[in-house]
Amino acid sequence: AQTVTQSQPEMSVQEAETVTLSCTYDTSESDYYLFWYKQPPSRQMILVIRQEAYKQQNATENRFSVNFQKAAKSFSLKISDSQLGDAAMYFCAYGKKTSGSRLTFGEGTQLTVNP
Amino acid sequence: ETGVTQSPTHLIKTRGQQVTLRCSSQSGHNTVSWYQQALGQGPQFIFQYYREEENGRGNFPPRFSGLQFPNYSSELNVNALELDDSALYLCASSHAGQGHNEQFFGPGTRLTVL
């Protein structure tokens, strides 16, 4: 079974600084997707960034980028120039390509941004 | 393009009762997945519906059941409610065949079982 582990229950960062959230996963599949979702206090889960396992290039979306290490099964999220609006719970998620849209989530990392 | 909507926003039930939660998928999406998110935890997959049939199920008992309608909206039904069923229930829609597995989530229904 696939598992996703986020070892940092809480992280904090100063506004305008950079922070990295960690995620590791376990799978026997060779092709899959990895995601970072953001869940603010409003509860709505918002997709931050997506990485396809077969793509060697790390995904980037504006201030958000990932460090995808397939052999190590590691998928960290880097947030640059942190803003107050980035404060939220961040979830790492895994999805098999063959099983449709079922996602396996980690336990989450609560990010605080200090002014 | 309308996003995923869920109703109701909040719900309070007592142990042993039954509850129905509703979800309208995003326009153009044909697949709906339901997740249970206990307080302080990540979402757990309950089941998925595609073309009105259950298409995958997580580790949840049969008292969790669902439906998908021709317009791709969906219901989650929970019978014989237990205290541990108290959680945020998230609905997510996607389009099977797009290949990238991206799901769009609704705001959730907060269920409290007393």
Q: Dump pLDDT digits (tens) for A53-80.
A: 998 899 999 999 999 999 999 999 999 9
Which token pair is B32?
A: 């709906």
**Which of A45, A52, A101 lies closest to B31 in CB terms?**
A101
Q: Dump pLDDT digits (tens) for B37-55.
A: 999 999 999 999 988 999 8
Does A11 contact B at CB distance below 8 Å? no
Query: Average pLDDT, stretch B71-92?
Result: 96
CB pair distance less than 8 Å for B43 and A105? yes
Q: Is B10 helix (H, G, I), strand (E, B) or coil?
A: strand
SS3 of chain A: the string is: CCEEECCCCEEEEECCCCEEECCEEECCCCCEEEEEEEECCCCCCEEEEEEECCCCCCCEECCEEEEEECCCCEEEEEECCCCHHHCEEEEEEEEECCCCCCCEECCCEEEEEEC
- Structure confidence at residue A98 as a pLDDT band (50, 70, 90): low
Q: Is B78 helix (H, G, I), strand (E, B) or coil?
A: strand
- Structure confidence at residue B99 as a pLDDT band (50, 70, 90): low
| Amino acid A13: pLDDT | 98
Residues of A in contact with B54 (CB under 8 A): none
Say yes or no to pLDDT of B98 above 70. no
* Rounded-to-10 torsion of CA A69, A81, A21, A109: -150
Smallest Cα distance from B42 to chain A, Å: 4
Other C-beta atoms closer than 10 Å to the C-beta of B34 total: 25
Measured between CA atoms, the residue of chain B closest to residue A53 is B100
CB pair distance less than 8 Å for A43 and B99? no
Q: Which of A8, A102, A105, A107 should be substituted to probe chain B, the one whose Cβ sees the most B Cβ atoms within 10 Å?
A: A102
Q: Is A62 exposed, middle or buried (0-12, 13-18, 19+ CB in 10 A)?
A: exposed
Report the alpha-carbon angle B100-B107-A24, nearest 5. 45
Say yes or no to pLDDT of A10 above 90. yes
